[in-house]
Chain A
Amino acid sequence: MDWKAYREALDALSFSPDFRERTEAVLRRRAQEQEKERSSVKFIKKPVVAAAVAALLVVSASAVALRLSASQVAERTGRTALAAAFEDNNAVAVNETVQTGDYAVTLMGLTSGANLDELNADLDVDHTYAVVALERLDGAPMGQVASGADYTVTPLVSGYDPWAVNNWTLGCSVDVLEADGTWYFLLDAGQLGAFADHTVYLAFYEGAAPPSAGKFTVAGDGSIAFAQDYPEEHALFVLPLDESLADPAAAQALVEPFLPGEDTAGETPIQESAPASDSPVLTIVPADA
């Protein structure tokens, strides 16, 4: 096979000579818009957060009251259609909190729909969006996001290995913003609704590495859990997806490139050893406890 001809054919393609210049201009414009948005978020910070009680051991009702709503999080990332979707009847308010290490992770809510993201206008298929809040249990504010937004928020699907179906392979994206000492993660989980006939999870953990066999275990029935004694902060939620969104054919098309096929039978996933440590116990408490 003549791979030199393949390389020459690609080299002969005529791309726009001003592609880089044009692209940089588009990106700078978008970055300026984002900066304006961030400035407005800082402006409306509430001073009452500074009076948070340092010894607070659970996510208090007052902390919940101070939180942005899922709709406000979407609004502050510039997605007005998505913000409206989080307000309508199809949105699901979850507000389930997991305490892990020194932090509380709250799955606030989720919604699904097409054309909800003005920043990615070419979405004419249903996408699922979820908002997660991260707060310190001692009431101290989280630092600025830029100082290390080193967390992963990823969907996982029962019946599929976490290293095969996750935020990387499904092409998800996450926006992170800080307001009133809380970090918010807005996850665009792509066409996750297609998997709604499975148990669909949302996993949160420290670090940016993709899901691996060191982090997760898969039971015989396909259910997924964090590895026993997983030492870092982590939380796992079940997403209450509307089963009517299930589309097994679309789901299969999405995962097909990442599943072990006939050519990969018997192969093992990339292994990652979990560092030993005293494992934090996960505690689920109602958000309004």
Chain B
Amino acid sequence: MRKLASFGTDETISRVVEQYSAMLLRLAAARLPSAADAEDAVQEVFLKLLDARPVFRDAEHEKAWLIRTTLHRAADIRRKRAREAPLDAIVEVEAPPEPGPELLDAVRALPERYAAVLHLYYYEGYSIKETAKLLALPAATVGTRLARGRERLRQMLKEDA
């Protein structure tokens, strides 16, 4: 199997940024409260790709790495925000969360295990099998997380109503 060229040349930088920016920005935006946060996260993911320069087996391997690293980075930012929350409460918050439609806000509030599979399935249109491969999970796990994620969303939206 042909391996992908190592990241770092002008050509590969243009290809990867062009090919994945939109998808990764949407994925990050499904986990973070603002578009600016999503842009920061995705730029850091590309920098991490440049620093780590993993050797990918093929395009699917590359995409899976980028998706998982974006989810990790978004989780890091959320954890950091949670730790900083008490401090933010007593100083002016520089960038308040952008209010969004209720379903998007509800997905953002879900644990990552549910939000990631719901986003990849319902927004990106990946099948359960494809989502399982991207997240290195058994397909059955993706199926059950989809069902449980939908159920949690139903409860959250019912409580808000």
Contact = CB atoms under 8 A, between A and B. Distances in A.
Interface of A: 1-3, 5-10, 13-16, 19-20, 22-24, 26-28, 30-31, 34, 77, 119-120, 122, 124, 146, 148-150, 163, 168-169, 171, 173-176, 208-210, 253, 256-258, 260-261, 263-264, 267-270
Given A2-B103, A173-B48, A208 B136 contact: no
B43 A264 contact: no
Contacts of A9: 100-101, 103-104
28 contacts: A3-B103, A3-B122, A5-B103, A10-B123, A13-B29, A13-B38, A15-B39, A23-B17, A23-B46, A27-B47, A31-B8, A31-B9, A34-B51, A169-B136, A171-B69, A171-B73, A173-B51, A174-B52, A175-B51, A208-B55, A210-B136, A253-B79, A257-B113, A261-B113, A264-B140, A267-B138, A267-B141, A269-B138
Contacts, number: 151
A173 B123 CA distance: 28
Contacts of A5: 101, 103
Is the contact region of chain B dominated by helix, strand, or loop, or is it mixed? helix
B53 A176 contact: yes
A274 B67 CA distance: 27
B61 to A, nearest CB: 7
Nearest to B36: A16
Nearest to B146: A263
Contact of B56 (A208, A263, A264): A208
Interface of B: 3, 6, 8-10, 13-14, 17-18, 21, 25-26, 29-30, 35, 38-39, 42-44, 46-48, 50-57, 61, 68-69, 72-73, 75-76, 79-80, 98, 100-101, 103-104, 107, 111-113, 116, 122-123, 136-138, 140-141, 144-145, 147-148, 150, 153-154, 157
A125 to B, nearest CB: 8
Contacts of A34: 8, 50-51
Given A10-B104, A169-B68, 4 more contacts: A5-B101, A10-B29, A19-B42, A256-B111
A257 B29 contact: no
Residue from the set A22, A119, A171, A253 with the largest chain B CB neighbour count within 10 Å: A171
B138 A24 contact: no
Given A15-B35, A168-B68, A257-B113, A270 B138 contact: yes
Contacts of B9: 31
Contact of A30 (B14, B47, B72, B75): B47
B51 A149 contact: no
A208 B54 contact: yes
A258 B141 CA distance: 10
A177 to B, nearest CB: 10
A27 B123 contact: no
Given A9-B101, A24-B14, A208 B141 contact: no
A142 to B, nearest CB: 15
A15 B14 CA distance: 18
A168 B136 contact: yes
Given A150-B55, A171-B72, A1 B112 contact: no
Contacts of B153: 1
A27 B47 CA distance: 6
A135 B10 CA distance: 31
Contacts of A120: 44, 47-48, 51
A23 B100 contact: no
Contacts of A1: 103, 150, 153-154, 157
Contacts of B53: 149, 175-176
For the complex of A and B, list the 8 residue pairs with the smallest distance between their C-beta atoms, beginning with the closest: A171-B72, A173-B52, A263-B144, A9-B104, A9-B101, A257-B113, A3-B122, A264-B141
A89 to B, nearest CB: 27
B35 A31 contact: no
B55 A149 contact: yes
B13 A28 contact: yes
A49 B35 CA distance: 52
A10 B138 contact: no
B44 A122 contact: yes
